[in-house]
Chains A and B, each alone.
Chain A
Amino acid sequence: MSARLKALAVALVALGALAVVVVMLNVRGEGDLGDEIAATAAPPVGWRATDEVIARGAYLARAGNCQACHSARGGAPYAGGRAIETPFGTVFSSNLTPDAEHGLGRWSAPQFWRALHHGRSADGRLLTPAFPYDNTTLVSRADSDALYAYLRSLAPEAQAARPHELRFPFNTQVALAVWRALYFEPREFQADASQSADWNRGAYLVQGLGHCNACHAARNALGATHGPLDLGGGLIPMHNWYAPSLANSREAGVADWDRAEIVALLKTGVVNRASGLVTASGPMGEVVLRSTQYLSEADLGAMATYLQTLGARFDESQAAAASAPNAKRPKPNPRGEKLYADRCAACHGDHGEGVPGAYAPLAGNRAVTMRRPANLVRIVLEGGFAPDTPGHPRPFGMPPFGQTLDNEDIAALLTHLRTSWGNQGTEISALQVNRYRGTR
């Protein structure tokens, strides 16, 4: 055998071995699930679990905010079809109603469990990780079965799933297999015996169905996070809102909040703290609106308990160095000062003090001075209302200024906010403002 042929043979064997490893990694942990699936027929159309199980599933679906992605705006709930933009192309959510042709009508409970726990579809195909199965893998089998029972109780919608529009090679099963081999492993939720039952319940919800890290964590070039434990903040891909760190006290860390304050924010969308009004805005407002407002006080309290301990693992000294106070005296900024007086002061006060219960203070507000200015820019450009919830109905609205102020104006205005009244944020440039214009 010539040297060249030998090398080729070695390469082929290595490639084959690698392929075997990738395949093995993709089905690891499945045990006899294949047998169970083969032995379990999907219940007939019209099958209903007990009301109690269905109600529990409905609650869990809220906790997972499944409907947010699995419904198109104005479309039937859970019928799918919503476009989810990713850096790799567009993913269209699937139909979760029990339609036999297009939905879950022919799925069995163990198949549904395999989707949640292993990220594989009823026919065994690998699902795209836009479906956060790195989180849902932590959902218990009992909760998975309850979710399945709830979805099977919905009215079937004969709405065909739209094929994803992902670019090559991301649209291939091979690419998904490699991605999963690198970044996904099915896991059970492991309770931490050194922590309270309350903390563990919170951890289960935050890391699992809540899939908080889908937004509140940085992603690498292939869209992978560091897993559900990392809530260190990240720019939401394509949406360009910054989901702040839940560990860093300079961003959205809540270690020094009262537990009741965290619960109120998740339940109603706003909380009046001693330091002023805090509002869940942008995508977090949507999370409160469609998910957390429906959760029980006990579960929200458990999540709060867990979130309060995130700060302990966080190195504040590094963050302090990263966001060293702006030692320079702010440059004179008459443009920003005038815009503030004309457009903002009537609500937010001459000195950024806000109005309790109505308008957030801007002085001493970490959302104003945060190192990543995405949300501040977006809120001024687009305005918005806090979520309209029973605990906080008829919210006050912030006007959008994107139509009336240009980038230079908004940069001057935001620089004024970030450097006045004792605020020690950095300046904002017109280029930074422009980056967040016209994104959704």
Chain B
Amino acid sequence: MSITHLKNALRRVRCWLPTRVHSTALRGMLLATALAGSVVQAAPKFEDTIAQRLQGCTACHGAQGRATPNGYQPRLAGKPAGYLFHQLLNFREARRNYGPMTSLVDPLGDAYLREIGEYFASLDIAYPPPQAATATPATLQRGEQLVRHGDAARGTPACQQCHGEAMMGVAPDIPGLLGLPRDYINAQLGAWRSGKRQAQAPDCMAQVARSLSLDDIDALSQWLASQAVAAPAKPLPEWPATRKMPLPCGGVSVEAAPVAGSQIGSPR
């Protein structure tokens, strides 16, 4: 109820009140009652929750961090906690460059950034359908090939080697690759290739991205963004003890054993 409505209502009330009681006090009382009533009706009770504290995040990343592939902003819900924490650090320390994110996280300490990562990681929210691919079958095939098998000639490891067979990542530090906007995947791989996006050293993804051509990046983003997310749509709970990573990665505490003879290619 707006103030104007209230005033009109009061005016109507006054019309049938005896003149003597047209006191300011009574008007004040009526106004106060009406205001109190409207507050109770309109605004839900304030609750001090982590979700309430993080409305600065969900304004762009969607309620509960559920951003869909229709926008540019990546989804946060259900991504591994360590990965999210590291990205917040990367924005704060200029390894990732996006002004709005940097200015938001700049005043926040490590403990809070870790808590923010854990909060979004804990959310279990259904994935929307994927984006329809717009590329040729040949491009999609190349994308799938890179995801499943990599490119031995260029020393490009398969995405699945680290990001898991289901491509949903491995807790706590390796992110999933599905459920993201195509433009976002494209831009991130491009930024890694050109050095605009970095991760903690050794920056394995920079090495991988530099081994890709721009066409490869296009193929990867087309294929990944068009894949439906199958249940249970969660990162693997832990890295399989019997496997090693093809490259050492900063911020990921898994032992790496580069495949003998494989050499990451030079920029293409």
A residues contacting B by CB (< 8 A) are 72-74, 269, 285-286, 289, 337, 345-347, 349-351, 355, 358, 382-388, 393-404, 440
Contacts and interface: CB of A to CB of B under 8 A. Distances in A.
18 contacts: A73-B92, A74-B94, A286-B106, A346-B43, A355-B46, A382-B104, A383-B56, A384-B104, A388-B108, A388-B112, A393-B111, A393-B112, A396-B55, A397-B57, A398-B55, A399-B59, A402-B100, A440-B103
B100 A382 contact: yes
B86 to A, nearest CB: 13
Given A350-B39, A384-B103, 16 more contacts: A74-B94, A289-B106, A337-B2, A382-B103, A384-B56, A385-B108, A386-B107, A394-B112, A396-B52, A397-B54, A400-B60, A400-B100, A400-B104, A402-B100, A403-B100, A440-B99
Q: With a 10 A CB-CB cut-off, give which of A349, A350, A387, A440 has the most chain B CB atoms.
A: A350
B194 interface: no
B265 to A, nearest CB: 28
Contact of B107 (A72, A358, A387): A387
Contacts, number: 95
A401 B60 CA distance: 9
B142 to A, nearest CB: 33
Interface residues of B, number: 36
Interface in B93-125: 93-95, 99-100, 102-109, 111-112, 115
A394 B115 contact: yes
Nearest to A383: B56
Nearest to B198: A74
Contacts of B100: 382, 400, 402-403
Interface string B111-144: 1100100000000000000000000000000000
Contacts of A74: 92-95
B53 interface: yes
Contacts of A350: 38-39, 42-43
Interface of B: 2, 35, 38-39, 42-44, 46, 48, 50, 52-60, 92-95, 99-100, 102-109, 111-112, 115
A74 B52 CA distance: 29
Contacts of B38: 350
A328 B95 CA distance: 51
A346 B44 CA distance: 7
B59 A401 contact: yes
A398 B108 CA distance: 13
Q: Which 10 A-B residue pairings sit nearest by Cβ, starting from the closest?
A: A397-B56, A399-B59, A74-B93, A74-B94, A73-B94, A387-B107, A388-B109, A388-B108, A399-B56, A396-B53
Which label, helix, strand, loop or mixed, suits the secondary structure of the A interface? loop
A394 B94 contact: no
A403 B107 CA distance: 21
Contacts of B99: 440
Q: With a 10 A CB-CB cut-off, give which of B35, B50, B60 has the most chain A CB atoms.
A: B60
A287 B76 CA distance: 30
A403 B56 CA distance: 12
Contacts of A403: 60, 100
A349 B39 contact: yes
Nearest to B96: A74
A400 B2 contact: no
Contacts of B93: 73-74
B95 A397 contact: no
B226 to A, nearest CB: 26
A422 to B, nearest CB: 10
Contacts of B106: 286, 289
B44 A383 contact: no
A72 B46 CA distance: 39
A437 to B, nearest CB: 12
Nearest to B46: A355
Contacts of A404: 59-60
Contacts of B35: 351
A400 B73 CA distance: 14
Nearest to B101: A400
A398 B60 CA distance: 12
Q: With a 10 A CB-CB cut-off, give which of B38, B43, B112 has the most chain A CB atoms.
A: B43
Contacts of B92: 73-74
A393 B113 CA distance: 11
Contacts of A72: 94
B104 A358 contact: no
A346 B43 CA distance: 6
Contacts of A393: 109, 111-112
A397 B55 contact: yes
A385 B104 contact: yes
Nearest to B93: A74
Given A395-B53, A400-B60, A440-B99, A345 B108 contact: no
